[in-house]
């Protein structure tokens, strides 16, 4: 079954232990969601988060906003926001179930985060882990979300004050205008990052890992295509889709990195993150064509080349295949694998275990996590002090001698910043060398 992959990360935190998916640690040690919710409901009060208050400190210095514009930002609760937007009725957390079409990107440059949310909604079990069941019943102005941070799941508590600019959402906007799960989730992740401004620019591998606790593999698409590895790439995409992996991609910047988020003639956006929502094959003139479905987190603005919504190529396939093309201006579109590799420079596949590499969904994995630090490093392989780097040994057994390639070892390295604010964090060059002993 597609959703039966075993999370190897959580094997190191048995169910019920602190940091496991069923018992996440508190992100702020003094904030217990259940206790706070009961207290504020009982006393008929609305919660205000003093650790991430509704002010300019939590907003941060947002790129593109002048100081005078920042002063115009208001913080409002959902009911007041609906009144500002002239929306009737009551706010809801989610109207039905989470969908990748629920939202569109706002003023904050966090497409790398929103693309991961789009992918997350395709894995319902994992979505329920990150977005716990909540509602505006017994309303107390308090909500919570869960993210995986450096080996452990953490529970992030927030109030529901959201930034409003010129009578509209400053950041992510809900297309179902009375639904608030995405703007609230964005606020929770802004708290994790340090501020809304600290979410500006990033890698989808980072946000995908924080939403899954999984293992990421990055593909340099142009190099993969140039090396004639399209078949291996297609297998990884297909396996990733079957495993309900979080899959995202990104376009390169234009003009040597100086032009960001400008629109190209083909409809794609430079230096922008997208999510991969499906792969499929269609028969066209007697041949199989490999197609990748991609979603722009803006919720609009699509590719206009071959196999796009209005491409005449869809008129040359069977009526069954033609149903795959939904001609909606929702930011989602199809493109051929070769065009995908030419126009996107990177692909990230992140899954709770590495089964997406070979499609063996029944394979059971074990995990070893080593945590530590060092005051000085031995440098790269060419340095005389290389041997002083931290070293670990692992015994790799051949599990199935009938397999030509037994891909049974996956190594991942993370660096934990000392600074909470994401933009202020200092990172050092790190890497892994693997030797056969």
The whole-chain average pLDDT of the chain stands at 87
Which residue intervals of 44-90 are DSSP H helices? 56-59, 67-70, 78-84
15: pLDDT strictly greater than 80: no
Which residue intervals of 159-304 are DSSP H helices? 181-193, 204-212, 221-226, 230-242
Q: Please answer whether residues 185 and 199 qualify as being in contact, where contact means their C-beta atoms are separated by less than 8 angstroms.
A: no
In-domain check, residue 393: no
- Mean pLDDT, residues 69-80 taken together: 94
- Residues 139, 23: one domain? yes
Out of 316, 350, 384, a domain closes at 350
In-domain check, residue 300: yes
Q: Please answer whether residues 302 and 296 qualify as being in contact, where contact means their C-beta atoms are separated by less than 8 angstroms.
A: yes
pLDDT score at 242: 87
HSE, CB side, 13 Å, CA atoms: give it for residue 60.
20
Higher pLDDT residue, 160 or 398? 160
- Residues 187, 250: one domain? no
- Residues 314, 271: one domain? yes
- Residues 179, 48: one domain? yes
65: pLDDT strictly greater than 70: yes
**CA angle in degrees (0–180, nearest 5) for 374-377-383:** 165
pLDDT score at 201: 86
pLDDT in tens, 343-367: 999 999 998 877 777 767 666 677 7
pLDDT-derived band of residue 372, with 50, 70 and 90 as boundaries? confident
409: pLDDT strictly greater than 50: yes
Domain residue limits at 259: 212-350
- Residues 229, 146: one domain? no
9: pLDDT strictly greater than 70: no
Cα 420 to Cα 190: distance, rounded to the nearest angstrom: 11
Cα 287 to Cα 290: distance, rounded to the nearest angstrom: 10
Out of 170, 200, 230, a domain closes at 200
408: pLDDT strictly greater than 80: no
How many structural domains is the chain composed of? 2
pLDDT score at 137: 92
In-domain check, residue 233: yes
We report the CATH number of the domain holding residue 314 as: 3.90.70.10
Higher pLDDT residue, 343 or 423? 343
- Residues 58, 191: one domain? yes
In-domain check, residue 280: yes
pLDDT score at 211: 95
- Residues 84, 176: one domain? yes
- Residues 29, 161: one domain? yes
- Residues 152, 250: one domain? no
Helices (H) and strands (E) in the chain, counts: 12, 13
- From residue 40, how far is each of 22, 141, 219 by CA, in Å? 24, 9, 48
pLDDT-derived band of residue 13, with 50, 70 and 90 as boundaries? low
Closest CA to 408 of 370, 366, 349: 366
Question: What percent of the chain has pLDDT above 70?
Answer: 91
HSE, CB side, 13 Å, CA atoms: give it for residue 13.
20
pLDDT score at 1: 36
In-domain check, residue 356: no
Q: Which residues make beta-bridge pairs with 161?
A: none
Phi, psi for 288 (deg, rounded to 5): -80, 135
pLDDT-derived band of residue 176, with 50, 70 and 90 as boundaries? confident
- Residues 186, 307: one domain? no
Closest CA to 275 of 292, 263, 258: 292
Q: Which of 93-97, 190-194, 234-238, 373-377 has the highest mean pLDDT?
A: 190-194
In-domain check, residue 264: yes
Which element (helix H / strand E) includes 40?
A: helix 33-42
In-domain check, residue 336: yes
In-domain check, residue 398: no
pLDDT-derived band of residue 397, with 50, 70 and 90 as boundaries? confident
pLDDT in tens, 82-104: 999 999 989 999 887 777 888 88
DSSP 8-class letter at 276: E
**Dihedral (C-alpha) 79, 46, 18, 370: value to the nearest 10 degrees?**
60
pLDDT-derived band of residue 5, with 50, 70 and 90 as boundaries? very low
Out of 350, 365, 399, a domain closes at 350
Which residue intervals of 47-180 are DSSP H helices? 56-59, 67-70, 78-84, 111-120, 124-130
Q: Please answer whether residues 180 and 92 qualify as being in contact, where contact means their C-beta atoms are separated by less than 8 angstroms.
A: yes
- C-alpha 426: how far from its chain's center? 22
HSE, CB side, 13 Å, CA atoms: give it for residue 427.
9
- Residues 55, 147: one domain? yes
pLDDT-derived band of residue 259, with 50, 70 and 90 as boundaries? low
Residues with a catalytic annotation lie at 111, 272, 296
pLDDT score at 357: 74
6: pLDDT strictly greater than 50: no
- Residues 193, 230: one domain? no
């Amino acid at each position: 079954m597609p959703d039966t992959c075993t999370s190897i990360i959580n094997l190191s935190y048995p169910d019920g232990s602190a940091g496991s998916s069923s018992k996440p640690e508190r992100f702020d040690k003094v904030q217990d969601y259940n206790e706070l919710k009961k207290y504020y409901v009982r006393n008929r009060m609305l919660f205000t988060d003093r650790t991430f208050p509704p002010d300019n400190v939590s907003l941060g210095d947002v790129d593109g906003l002048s100081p005078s514009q920042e002063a115009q930002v208001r913080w409002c609760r959902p009911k007041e926001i609906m009144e500002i937007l002239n929306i009737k009725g009551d706010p809801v957390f989610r109207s039905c179930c989470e969908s990748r079409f629920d939202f569109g990107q706002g003023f904050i440059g966090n497409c790398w985060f929103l693309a991961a949310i789009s992918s997350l909604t395709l894995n319902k079990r994992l979505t329920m882990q990150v977005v716990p069941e909540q509602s505006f019943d017994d309303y107390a102005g308090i909500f919570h979300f869960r993210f995986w941070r450096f080996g452990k799941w953490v529970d992030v508590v927030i109030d529901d004050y959201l930034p409003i600019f010129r009578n509209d959402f400053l950041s992510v906007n809900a297309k179902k205008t009375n639904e608030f799960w995405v703007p609230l989730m964005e606020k929770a992740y802004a708290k994790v990052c340090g501020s809304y401004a600290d979410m500006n620019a990033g890698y989808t591998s980072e946000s995908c890992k924080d939403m899954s606790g999984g293992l990421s593999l990055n593909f340099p698409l142009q190099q993969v295509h140039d090396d004639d590895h399209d078949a291996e790439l297609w297998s990884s995409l297909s396996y990733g889709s079957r495993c309900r992996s979080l899959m995202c991609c990104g376009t390169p910047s234009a003009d040597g990195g100086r032009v960001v988020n400008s629109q190209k003639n083909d409809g794609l956006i430079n230096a922008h993150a997208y999510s991969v929502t499906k792969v499929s094959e269609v028969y066209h003139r007697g041949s199989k064509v490999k197609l990748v479905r991609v979603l722009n987190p803006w919720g609009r603005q699509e590719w206009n080349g071959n196999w796009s919504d209005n491409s005449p190529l869809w008129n040359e396939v069977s009526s069954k295949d033609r149903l795959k093309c939904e001609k909606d201006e929702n930011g989602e579109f199809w493109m051929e694998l070769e065009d995908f590799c030419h126009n996107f420079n990177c692909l990230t596949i992140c899954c709770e275990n590495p089964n997406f590499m070979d499609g063996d969904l029944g394979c059971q994995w074990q995990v070893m996590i080593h945590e530590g630090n060092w005051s000085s490093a031995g440098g790269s392989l060419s340095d005389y002090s290389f041997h002083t780097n931290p070293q670990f040994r692992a015994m790799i057994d051949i599990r199935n001698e009938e397999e030509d390639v037994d891909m049974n070892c996956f190594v991942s390295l993370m660096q934990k910043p000392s600074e909470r604010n994401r933009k202020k964090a200092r990172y050092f060059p790190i890497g892994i060398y693997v030797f056969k002993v």
